[in-house]
Amino acid sequence: MTRMILAVLVAIAMASPARAELDVTALQIQPRLDLRATAGTHGERLRIQQSELNVTASISDGDSEIVNLNLQHNFETPMTGRAKQMHFSNLYGVFNLGLDRPAVKVGQFTVPFGTLAEYDTHPIPLQTPYARTLGIRIDRGVGLEGRQGDWDWWASLTTGDGRERHDGGGAATARAARDFEVGQDIIRAGVSGLVGEEIPVFPTNAMSMPMGLDDEVEHVDKWRMALDLDWLRGIDNIRGEFVAGQDNGRLVNGQWIYYEHPFSYDSSVALQADRWDQGDGTSLGIGAQYHHRLDDWSGIRLAAEHRWADTDAMPMSGMSDSSDLFTIQYYRDWAWAPDF
């Protein structure tokens, strides 16, 4: 972590003209608490799922924002190993080179693949299928993001093995997305690609998050292509991700579909289903989630998820081929910002 902070500071110094007088014009400090009571196949628990601190700082040269720094630090979570590393600890700077030029991203950030590029999944019980489809989420490296005509685009070169790890591989990821307005609807469609070496693969399993499987992780050469959509259909939201590719030459593919219906500003219900097929088997999942805001800063979610795994190999010790997870989440956000 210290080396990453130093790297970001060095990058700021390199990006800043010597003559420019830099000034912090905005600083936001946003703690977050996420308590979860869970029940299901893996027992009953009441835990602090996340207690984290998000810090955002804007540094300007008087007229223009030079860099936006983002830090996310987690203090407490029951997650361990790769599951934890996929979830927490963004640390990056976004360097603005001018409105009509792409911004440069340096540090530890979410790879821009599919809906990961636009939605932060980590505070929500129902997860998108990145752990299966990619095997990584937060990764170290450099990226570019910009806009060309109606298209938003992202590209990154990262170590390909998750944050705070580097086993000699690497990943190149890119995505482009644009909006289409059709009557009352807005459809955001995206296309993504990833190619890399020595990228982790979790064995096919029926877990909601691949916890405790670090010793079973393999590293393979991957490529992935994905189409994603984010459809505001009236008041409803339908999202999907359709992924195909290869792991060491073996075909893989999967689909994820998500539907959310709001009852009011404060409450909504979401349903999702996903499927992922890779060399050692197929996993399937369905989930439902109800969200209710208690006030501007807090809310609850009730979630239920059922997963199946159909594996070609012998089941891993202690692993079942299906699992249930029921979650009651309470979250609370805070924010502070000093005057400048």
Binding-site string for other proteins from residue 6 to residue 25, where x marks contact by CB under 8 A and - marks none: -------------------x
Q: Is the dihedral of CA 89, 226, 323, 311 positive or negative?
A: negative
> Smallest distance, Å, CB 58 to other proteins?
4
Binding-site string for other proteins from residue 223 to residue 262, where x marks contact by CB under 8 A and - marks none: ---------x-xx-x------------------------x
Question: What is the token pair recorded at 247?
Answer: 């792991």
Residue with smaller CB distance to other proteins, 178 or 219: 178
Please work out, in degrees rounded to the nearest 5, the angle formed at the alpha carbon of residue 77 by the alpha carbons of 75 and 83: 115
Residue 217 contacts by C-beta under 8 Å, 6 or more apart in sequence? 82, 135, 200, 201, 202, 203
- Report the 10 Å Cβ neighbour count for 11: 18
SS (H, E, C) 310-324: EECCCCCCCCCCEEE
- Choose, by CB under 8 A, the member of 5, 9, 10, 76 that binds other proteins: 76
Tell me how far apart the alpha carbons of residues 41 and 194 are, in angstroms, rounded to a whole number. 34
- Choose, by CB under 8 A, the member of 100, 215, 312, 314 that binds other proteins: 100
Please work out the total of residues on this chain that contact other proteins, with binding judged by CB under 8 A: 46
The number of residues making up the chain comes to 340
- Choose, by CB under 8 A, the member of 21, 63, 215, 312 that binds other proteins: 63
> Smallest distance, Å, CB 200 to other proteins?
28
Binding site for other proteins (CB under 8 A): 25-28, 31, 33, 48, 51, 58, 60, 62-65, 68, 75-76, 98-100, 146-147, 181, 183-186, 232, 234-235, 237, 262-265, 268, 295-297, 332, 334-337, 339-340
